[in-house]
Amino acid sequence: MNKEVTIWTKEIINVIRKIQKEFSNNKGLILTEGDLECHLYKHLTESSLFSSLEETKTNGWKSGYVHSQVTWFKPCQNSGFRVDLTVCKPKNIDIKTLEMVENYPNKGFFHDGMAVAIELKYIRDNSPGKISNDAKKDYVKIVKKLKVAKELLIESKKYTNVTIDDIAFIGLIVCKTQEIYDIALEKLKKAMAKNNCPKNVFPIIFCHEKLQVMNKPPLAQHQRLYFKNK
């Protein structure tokens, strides 16, 4: 991953750690997957990295860095992936010139540039089968579908302002209880063993008492200097 997307990823992980601490102190903070999305969106847009509203490619239109339920294209033209939260630069968003993607599913804008996709799962059902399915579902989707589709579209020049090194993926699982967490963690580890975790994919799982980041982005010396000078 490039330096900037690595910094973005670390900041998003730091925000997730803050939410886990709040969840630990206020056990009813997150009761639904919608709650989780709202809390993460709120905290991300309060981060100094993602809080500003900036000009897009469309004259007179400003936008933010964090967006909900964005469609990420599939290589075919008649369907797309709905991603829970997407972090991207406003300057790479085109809100009016959509000719090149008019046959693709979109929500009235086209983004071509560095981005972080965040998939969310809140597990509250104690059924072992449901826990198993939910624990691995988003990880498998990211590794075998979402990431592959993005790379194919970059290679085919559907995107021209981004490389594979400019994209990161975070799969966040939040568990209502530690009992659910223990089962979900085991199932997630098995899914990761079966499908090797790429360097730009970051599975994260937490409950009230515990948090694990399963793949940590590097922080090289020049990146530490970036933080100091920013």
Checking if the pLDDT of 227 tops 50, the result is no
Confidence of residue 209 (pLDDT cuts 50, 70, 90): very high
- Strand partners for 62: 55
pLDDT tens-place string over residues 67-115: 999 989 888 766 788 999 999 999 999 987 655 555 555 557 788 999 9
- Its pTM stands at 0.91
What pLDDT sits at residue 73?
Answer: 86
Residue 101 DSSP class? G
Place of tokens 């975070």: 170
Q: What is the mean pLDDT of the chain?
A: 90
pLDDT of residue 226: 40
The candidate with the shortest Cα–Cα distance to 90, out of 125, 120, 115, 118, is: 115
- Residue-wise pLDDT for 118-128, tens only, equals 999 999 999 99
The yes-or-no verdict on residue 220 having pLDDT over 90 is no
Say what the alpha-carbon torsion angle 11, 16, 17, 23 is, to the nearest 10 degrees. 160
Task: Assess contact for 46 and 53: CB atoms under 8 A.
Answer: no
